[in-house]
Amino acid sequence: MGSAPRERLARVDAEETYIRAGELEVFRQLQRDGAALDATLADNRAFAVGPFARVRADVVVDELGKTRGAINNLWGSQEAFRAAVMGVFLNDDSLGADDVTYPDPAAFASLDQWVAAWAAVEIERGPRHAMQPSNRYGLRWAAWLGLVPYGIWSDSIAETSMDELRSGVDRYATQILGPALSHFGAELAEPTTIDDLAVAVHEAIEGTWLTSCLTGDDPIGRPNPLSTSLAKTLQLLLRGATI
């Protein structure tokens, strides 16, 4: 009977050892897949990884009233079709080009009021917990998160993702922040640039989208919707960057 505790301890140690080894193998598999993806993209033999590798071609053709042969006729194989779906997330320049109407600064009495309306638009544009599947940017962005770990080792994923980030930052700087600051007579405090502020705003919004995937409520339980939390974050950023 005296050996039972030692046996239980040995089992716990063994389980921990195997789990840690399995964890490391997950990371190595991501590394292998990332390298393989870059290699196959170079000669148009891309394969799907992450959530895209599980796209069910049979469901797609059933919804369209077609047969599975239709996909094979177009792409040659179901695997090539899955890679083509994933390719939208790697090559489509219009990935974030949903038809979004941002609030007009001229319709608001103060910068803070305009920011609150802007935050509501960004929450609506992004992914939201329990939202229905649709071909909108918010869910594309959330699905893209499944590719991010591969970007540690895949230059193709990293470069495409960074291109979209830069495009988003430029949009915030030139189309949203610049006109709003000009309208409300707010000047940037030196040495802050409009690009500095746009990067901070971009990171704040996408950080809030991560939370929005999980809840529509305030992240720490305050009696406000998530859009109010984002509005406060953006207001703090603008107050800190302007004079």
Q: pLDDT of 20-69, one tens digit each?
A: 999 999 999 999 999 998 988 766 677 899 899 999 999 999 999 998 89
162-198, pLDDT tens digit by residue? Answer: 998 999 999 999 999 999 999 999 999 999 999 999 9
Same domain membership, residue 40 and residue 6: yes
When pLDDT is cut at 50, 70 and 90, the band that residue 159 belongs to is very high
Same domain membership, residue 68 and residue 56: yes
Residue 9 has pLDDT above 80, yes or no: no
Exposed (0-12), middle (13-18) or buried (19+): which is 230, by Cβ within 10 Å?
buried
Mean pLDDT of the chain: 91
CA distance 46 to 48: 7
CA distance 165 to 199: 9
Other residues' Cβ atoms within 10 Å of the Cβ of residue 76: 10
Q: Under a CB-based contact definition with an 8 Å cutoff, are residues 91 and 133 in contact? A: no
Same domain membership, residue 169 and residue 58: no
- Classify residue 38: in a domain, yes or no: yes
Please compute the mean of the pLDDT values over residues 223-235 and round it to a whole number.
96
pLDDT at 3: 64
Q: Which domain holds residue 53?
A: 46-90
Residues 6 or more apart whose Cβ sits within 8 Å of residue 176? 102, 118
Same domain membership, residue 231 and residue 191: yes
- The secondary structure element, H or E, covering residue 120 is helix 111-125
Same domain membership, residue 86 and residue 160: no
The CATH number that applies at residue 111 is: 1.10.357
Same domain membership, residue 185 and residue 120: yes
